[in-house]
Amino acid sequence: MGKSNKSKATRDILLHDPMAEAGRKLLAMQLARMKRHEAGSRTGEDIESVHQMRVAIRRMRSLFMLIGAAYKPKTVDKYSRELRRIARALGRIRDLDVLIEDLEAFRPSLPAGDQAALDQVFDRLDSRRSQHRERLNALFDSKFYARFLRQFARLCKKPGRGARPLPNREEPHQLRHVLPVLLHERLARVRAYDAVLPAADDRILHALRVEFKQLRYALEFFQPLLGRTTNSFLREAKEMQEILGRINDIAVFSDYMSGLKKLSPEQAAVVRDYLADRDQALAALRLRFDKQWTSFNTRSRMRQFSDALLILR
């Protein structure tokens, strides 16, 4: 998305907007981003297209989770379910895109003979990716997808569509009143992991990564309306998410590569070398995460967060 379009969309969001109206504007922005990357996701010429389309869908799903109470439950359930279906089709390709890219970075460290064995593994992974892309394109060409785009576009264009009726005018519903509570709740869900760190396993770290992502998206949605201290806090949150994302990638890589069947002895040996190399990288990432968490989870960082919300009056 061009910078000017994004800044215009965020300028359109007002502190006095009902949460459902602010959400409608943000959903429209992400829907446009999703559609813009559909063509590239179909061809696979640039792996960033699948990534960007998937991120747009994740942001829409995250927005529904953040402010879903502003909409009718049937609206949230319907579109969350349909977005998840599309995201899964994209995710199968994205996982292989990232794995193949990681293997390509590992390839130069191998002798020529092992590189040839790794190339054969590449061919198998690329074949799987092609199969998943065929299924993705079939989804894009389906009546389900056409109906989703048509109905979701109507939701994004018409003010008040899908919004939950207010029982009374005194109920908090404007962005300036509701958003501070929602953002503090997102932060609390992250900070709660302090009780189980640093001895957390991959499953817990994956769950924490999801919470960091939800916090990051929530802040980015409304960043232009928040105080400047948001910028520093958001950089820290993004770095934490990226470290946890890399840890999760390695877990996914290991599971995928360990599950490959009918490998030749040469291919199996290369896979073992790769997994051993990833284990070393994982140990380094865990140390980096522990250090970064200590820096993030401080009183001064939390004060930055709270100060940024004071502008919402």
What integer pLDDT is reported at residue 11 of this predicted model? 56
DSSP state of 35: H
Sign of the CA dihedral with 140 first, then 144, 145, and 146 last: positive
Q: Are residues 291 and 262 in the same domain?
A: yes
Last residue of one domain, picked from the residues 128, 157, 186: 157
pLDDT digits (tens, 9 = 90+) for 85-114: 999 999 999 999 999 999 999 999 999 999
pLDDT digits (tens, 9 = 90+) for 234-248: 999 999 999 999 999
**pLDDT of 5 strictly over 90:** no
Q: To which residue do tokens 């070393």 refer?
A: 280
For the chain, give the mean pLDDT: 93
| Domain total in the chain | 2
Q: How confident is the model at residue 79 (pLDDT cuts 50, 70, 90)?
A: very high
Are residues 75 and 128 located together in one domain of the fold?
A: yes
Mean pLDDT of 260-279: 95
User: What is the arithmetic mean of pLDDT over 207-236?
Assistant: 92
Domain that holds residue 297: 174-313
28 and 120 fall within a common domain: yes
**What is the arithmetic mean of pLDDT over 131-137?**
98
Among the candidates 90, 125, 157, a domain finishes at 157
In a domain, residue 198? The reply is: yes
48 domain-assigned:
yes
Q: d(Cα 208, Cα 196) in Å, to the nearest integer?
A: 11
* 174 phi/psi in degrees, rounded to 5: -75, 150
Query: What is the distance between the alpha carbons of residues 27 and 32, in angstroms, rounded to a whole number?
Result: 9
Query: Are 111 and 209 found together in one domain?
Result: no
Phi, psi of 71 (to 5 degrees): -115, 165
| Residue 124 and residue 97 share a domain | yes
Residue 6, pLDDT above cutoff 70: no
pLDDT value of residue 4: 43
Residues 6+ apart with CB under 8 A from 66: 182, 186, 214, 217, 218, 221
Give buried/exposed letters for 154-190 (b at 16+ CB in 10 A, else e): ebbeeeeebbbeeeeeeeebbbbebbbebbeebbebb
User: Amino acid identity, residue 263?
Assistant: L
Residue 193 lies in a domain: yes
Q: Is the pTM of this model over 0.85?
A: yes
- At 3, the pLDDT band (50, 70, 90 cuts) reads very low
Short-list 294, 256, 301, 296, CA closest to 274: 256
Predicted confidence band of residue 2 (pLDDT cuts 50, 70, 90):
very low
* CATH (domain of 39): 1.40.20.10
* C-alpha distances in Å from residue 284, one per residue of 100, 158, 222: 21, 50, 34
pLDDT at 43: 96
Asked if 186 and 313 sit in the same domain, the reply is: yes
Residues 187 and 76 in one domain: no
Closest CA to 52 of 34, 65, 67: 34
**Would you say residue 273 lies in a domain?**
yes
| Same domain for 178 and 140 | no
* Residue 10 pLDDT: 55
* 212 and 281 share one domain: yes
294 occurs within a structural domain = yes
- Give yes or no: residues 187 and 143 share one domain: no
Q: Report the alpha-carbon distance of residue 12 to residue 20 in Å, rounded.
A: 14
SS3 32: helix
For 206, the token pair is: 């994956």
Residues forming beta bridges with residue 163, ordered by sequence position: 71
> CB–CB of 289/244 below 8 Å?
yes
